[in-house]
Amino acid sequence: MSRTLIQFARALAGQARWRAMAALGLMIAFSLTEGVGVLMLFPLLQVAGINLTNQGGAGRLARMAAAGFAAVGLKPSLPLLLVIFVVLIGLRTFLGRMQSDAMYLAEQHFEVGLRLRLYRAISRANWLYLSRARTSDFVHALSTELARAGQAAFDLMLLAADLILTALYLLIAFRLAPAMTAIVLGCGGALAAAMRGRTREIHQSGEEISASINSLFAAMTGHLENLKLAKAYGAEARNYAMFAELTREVEGANIAAQRHQTAASAWFELGSAVILGAVLYVAVGALRVAPAAILILLVLFARVMPRFLAALQRWHSLVNTVPAFANLTAMESRFTAAAEPEPAEGGPPLELRREISLDQVSFAYTPEAPVLSSISAVIPAGQIVAIVGQTGAGKSTLADLAMGLIAPDSGRIAIDGVPLEAVWIARWRERIGYAASDTFLFHGSIRDNLLWARPDASDGDLREALEAAAAAQFVAALPDGLGTIVGDRGVTLSQGERQRLSIARAWLRRPRLMVLDEATNSLDSETEARIFEALERRRGDLTVVMIAHRLSTIRRADLIYVIEDGRIVEYGTWNDLVARGDGRFHALCEAQALSG
């Protein structure tokens, strides 16, 4: 725990350095106003007729205060002292407000910095790593865990403010009665040491809160993404029961944490009262502390004890929330370790003028389950190339390899003879358009969804892309045209309309390689034919890789690869493959009642 706290303090100092320093300066200034206010008690007692000259430490502090007034040519009087008190209170109020604002700014800057660092690490991780992670983990980290880490930063700064002010009070107390103050500090240290076990419990409860909320986020994301399916299956009650159970786990973790904190505070408060009573008894009976000093010490300790208690509560809150920071930094480290290399600078552009070649390429998501084995294939530039096979044969994986989304375990992939190494991947993806059956549309207008792929596209470019995707007519018929809001994940549109917008978005990028992964499986034959006519008009300039289960889709392909169990078992034109009566492609055509 201590190591995490040190890392957290360093991160706060590094991320919000100047804002944290400003907050610290204001904390010190705020504390000084309180200290001056306490010192004003001595001349006030003198004016009230209490002689502090022979009162030990109280007398020394009274002489210091009198010397201060004499240095500025003033004589203490009741009106003057009251005016000074009012001025001090006003200054303290002003500084307190500035201190709170400065701490909040530092907290927000720290939180934003953490969020941006984590999001950058997530976005730069390789696709293979991302595909194995849960989206809900990202959402939980970027929202709830970030908020808890921000709260920890605020708690740490408040704890520093409380400790600075407490140290100032103790300094004055030492000047008054060093022995008595030392006894109080020693007893307080012993009390804090005795409560270390409760501090560990609070830290563990903070870890339990993070874990339970993460589980709740995972279930919540899954349930909300599948509401339609849940209704179709009549599973609303089951989903509710699961959600309720996880919600109660979060409730239980929060209640347990609160109980640990309140119990610790109660025991500390009780112990403090016992210690203070015992020390006062010793001060009067054994140490013979002067009555005036005891009076002022009572005032000081009456102010110190709430500060001690507040500091303890801040400490417990910090201990409870700092596990969120540990989770965030651990997640950032994992994603940073899985980051793709920085893009190459300079060098020849990957334009795809000749071919994409795959030479003895193998890939496996897990060692025990290889997906592709020793694949060798050529995708000629400017042609339409289809990849077919049964579900799970490795078709989409082959396309992902060609796009550089994943790297082969062995073998070589080259673009026009240039090896598709990690440093070239970012530049290669600039030349790719991609559309899949599972279409991603965010909650916004059609225009926004298209421009997401190419922000500098003109209205003419948008119209051209919609025409190529056979989407211009249905978009024009919508009430707001391009300004129509599609809803969350495009829910207001049909699956076929979403697919056409996805193809338009890919077309808008003016790619050298277009990958269509079952991107037309929800379209009628007439609409699909119109899209292929647009693709054929760019034949020779645009390379198209199509993945399809519906074989009628690929009749116009120049080259067809048939994959089975991670290997290419056949390749050729439609007519060539259909003519092989004992071939695998012929069998697939027969299964779909297709003839040559």
**β partners of residue 361:** 375
d(CA 422, CA 502): 27
CA distance 315 to 199: 9
Nearest to 65 by CA among 47, 86, 79, 89: 47
For residue 357, the model assigns a pLDDT of 93
pLDDT at 414: 92
Question: CA-to-CA distance for 560 and 584, rounded, in angstroms?
Answer: 12
375 phi and psi angles, rounded to 5 deg: -80, 125
Q: What is the pLDDT of residue 590?
A: 81
Residue-by-residue DSSP string for 127-142: HHHHHTS-HHHHHHII
- Are 476 and 440 within 8 A, CB to CB? no
Do the beta carbons of residue 350 and residue 431 sit within 8 Å? yes
The whole-number pLDDT of residue 282 equals 67
Kindly report, as residue ranges, where domains of CATH 3.40.50.300 are found in the chain. Answer: 355-591
Q: What is the pLDDT along the chain (596 residues), one digit of tens a residue?
A: 577 778 877 777 777 777 777 777 777 777 667 666 666 665 555 555 555 555 555 556 556 666 666 666 667 666 766 677 777 777 778 777 887 888 888 888 888 888 899 889 988 888 888 888 888 888 888 888 888 888 888 888 878 777 777 777 777 667 666 766 676 667 666 766 666 666 666 667 767 777 777 777 677 666 666 666 566 666 677 777 877 787 788 777 778 777 776 776 677 667 767 766 776 676 666 656 566 556 656 665 666 666 676 777 777 778 888 888 888 888 889 999 988 877 766 655 678 889 999 999 999 988 777 889 999 999 999 999 999 988 888 888 999 999 888 889 999 999 988 888 877 888 888 888 998 887 888 888 889 989 988 889 898 999 999 988 888 888 898 888 888 888 877 788 888 888 888 999 999 988 899 999 888 888 788 888 888 888 888 888 899 999 988 888 888 889 999 998 889 999 998 888 888 878 888 888 888 777 65
* Residue range(s) occupied by CATH 1.20.1560.10 in the chain: 2-337
What pLDDT sits at residue 578? 87
In 40-77, which residue ranges form alpha helices assigned H by DSSP? 41-47, 57-71
Identify the pLDDT of residue 527: 85
Which class is domain 355-591? alpha beta
Residues 84-111 have pLDDT tens digits of 777 777 777 877 788 788 888 888 888 8
CATH number of 2-337, picked from 3.40.50.2300, 1.20.1560.10, 3.40.50.300, 3.40.50.620:
1.20.1560.10
Residue 378 has a pLDDT of: 93
Q: Which amino acid is at 143?
A: S
pLDDT of residue 52: 53
